[in-house]
Amino acid sequence: MRLLTTVAVIGATAIPAFAEEVNVYSHRQPELIQPLFDAFTAETGITVNSSFVDKGMVERLQAEGSRSPADLVLTVDVARLGEVKDAGVLQPMDAEALSVIPANLRDDENMWFALTTRARIIYAHKDRVAEDEVTTYEDLADPKWQGRICTRVFTHDYNVALTAAHLAHHGEEATLAWLEGIKANLARKPEGGDRDQVKAIWAGECDIAIGNTYYMGGMLADDEQKAWAESVRIEFPTFEDGGTHLNVSGVAMTAAAPNRENALKLVEFLVGDEAQRIYAETNHEFPVKEGVALSELVASWGEFEADDLALSEISDLRPRALDLIEQVNFDG
């Protein structure tokens, strides 16, 4: 079988047919997941054909329909998992091996499962922000931060998910006020990615920024960005009635899945001890399986209490969260 190549795919090449194979459409960069696929092939003899789909994942699966060669979808962020589910292009997965994934980190209809988690945290300047000066997400709206916060656009999936979590905890009125408060505290118009916010702190444009934990690992490994990373520390804020907001990288099985049994074997492998270790360590994320050790770097960031809010609830609330973000014209 060959994976089709479209303008939405980057790096997909013609792949020869294999008797035992599984085909993956992935939002994740190839270098982040290839070590896992190599380990799976070495253990099972099943070849993994992966296409990096930069944009249009849902549209592509809908267009291909029952003829799609894709067995699995790998993506990041609960919002993207929710979009694929809502498009009606998935089927549920039912395997005993998946029972290791906590209930709040899976779809309530078994349409998708988390493989790793990442925390949405605060990057704080080591000198200009005292330790424990920001302890809650709600605190970001406090006027004491006026002119001191940087963030990427809030209409980005990562911030939509955070807003949906706030909405689940506090309701619409409080979430609207929270968004208005953060917007009033911005040092500049939202722009760039999470790493760009850390660069802005290093450059003195702001003192704190909202970002994902794993970017710290990537910056520390980059000659230019290492100085940015070393200018900040990670703070794990919590919701006032909850814990630190988590998002996920996750997996789902397509409705077409021409290699369903092999695809299920790959998913079961990905939640196993060794794959969890590789996946989390390669991407500087947290394993979803209890008992799998953190990488030394990730462990050095400290312990935190994860929010136990079901990610399926966050996914369901994302359209309303986006409405509220646009209502305050946060990115304008």
What pLDDT is stored for residue 281 in this prediction?
Answer: 87
User: Which of 3.40.50.2300, 3.40.190.10, 3.20.190.10, 3.40.50.280 is the CATH number of 118-244+306-327?
Assistant: 3.40.190.10
- Residue 3: pLDDT band (50, 70, 90) is very low
What pLDDT is stored for residue 19 in this prediction?
Answer: 61
Q: Structure pTM?
A: 0.89
Q: Are 32 and 6 in contact (CB under 8 A)?
A: no
Q: Is there a common fold for 9-117+246-300 and 118-244+306-327?
A: yes
1 pLDDT higher than 60: no
7 pLDDT higher than 90: no
What pLDDT is stored for residue 30 in this prediction?
Answer: 77
Domains in the chain: boundaries = 9-117+246-300, 118-244+306-327
**Pairing between strand 72-76 and 246-254?**
antiparallel
294 token code pair: 């953190």
Distance of CA 27 to CAs 9, 77, 150, 222, Å? 10, 10, 26, 22
Q: What is the pLDDT of residues 105-131, one digit of tens each?
A: 999 999 999 999 999 999 999 999 999
Residues 12-29 have a mean pLDDT of 70
CA atoms within 13 A on the CB side of 35: 12
Per-position b or e across 258-295, b if 16+ CB within 10 A of its CB: bbbebbbbbbbbbbbeebbbbbbbbbbbbbbbeebebb
In this structure, what DSSP letter does residue 27 have?
S
Fold of 9-117+246-300: D-Maltodextrin-Binding Protein; domain 2 (3.40.190)
- Residue 10: pLDDT band (50, 70, 90) is very low
Q: Which residues contact 233 (CB under 8 A, 6 or more apart)?
A: 123, 124, 126, 131
Per-position b or e across 191-229, b if 16+ CB within 10 A of its CB: eeebbbbbbbbbeeebbbbbbbbbbbbebeeeeebeebb
Residues 68-95 have a mean pLDDT of 93
**Pairing between strand 208-212 and 286-287?**
unpaired
Q: What type of residue is 295? A: S
Q: What is the pLDDT of residues 182-217, one digit of tens each?
A: 999 999 999 999 999 999 999 999 999 999 999 999
C-alpha torsion sign, points 221, 287, 35, 26: negative
Helices marked H in the chain — which ranges?
30-44, 57-64, 78-86, 157-170, 172-184, 194-202, 214-220, 226-230, 260-270, 273-283, 296-300, 311-327
Judged by phi (left if over 0) then psi (alpha if -120 to 50, else beta), residue 139 lies in alpha
5 pLDDT higher than 60: no
Residues 31-37 have a mean pLDDT of 87
What pLDDT is stored for residue 12 in this prediction?
Answer: 39
Q: What is the pLDDT of residues 316-326, one digit of tens each?
A: 999 999 999 99
158 pLDDT higher than 90: yes
Q: Percent of the chain having pLDDT more than 70?
A: 94
- In this structure, of 45-49, 75-79, 89-93, 237-241, the range with the lowest mean pLDDT score is 75-79
What pLDDT is stored for residue 227 in this prediction?
Answer: 98
Q: What is the pLDDT of residues 216-226, one digit of tens each?
A: 999 999 999 99
Residues 10-30 have a mean pLDDT of 67
